[in-house]
Amino acid sequence: MSDYGKQGYSGVKTTFGFWENGYGFLMAENNGTEYKYSEKTNFTTFDNVKLLKPYSGSGFELSVGPGQTEIVLIQQLDATGRGLGMSSQPRFDRVTAGGGRTP
């Protein structure tokens, strides 16, 4: 789990893992009130797995506003194992009182 509260983004956390049944997940949770969390992830290694809808391909983009949670599901295609390597770029935008954002 990555807790971005230690970096000044209170309430923003991401978790990545796989269950024994071959399904994996990335969950981005924003229980904060000041920032919108965005993430662009590209898988540099993506062997024997696929992203489940609404995501596809070998990467995804998330946008998680205050009070929101987003989950990306990944499926291992067979029991031969999986290979994953990823590169992520998190971004935090301050949410203004009117609902907009400032970098």
Considering its fold, how many domains does the chain have in total?
A: 1
Would you say 25 and 17 are in contact if contact means Cβ atoms under 8 Å apart? Answer: yes
Question: What pLDDT digit, counting tens, does each position of 39-71 carry?
Answer: 999 999 988 899 999 999 999 999 999 999 999
The rounded mean pLDDT for the chain is 90
The whole-number pLDDT of residue 80 equals 81
The whole-number pLDDT of residue 97 equals 64
Residue 57 located in a structural domain: yes
Would you say 52 and 58 are in contact if contact means Cβ atoms under 8 Å apart? Answer: no
Which CATH number goes with the domain that contains 19?
Answer: 2.60.40
The whole-number pLDDT of residue 46 equals 86
pLDDT band at 100 (very low <50, low <70, confident <90, very high): low
Q: Which domain holds residue 74?
A: 2-78+88-97
The whole-number pLDDT of residue 14 equals 96
Residue 83 located in a structural domain: no
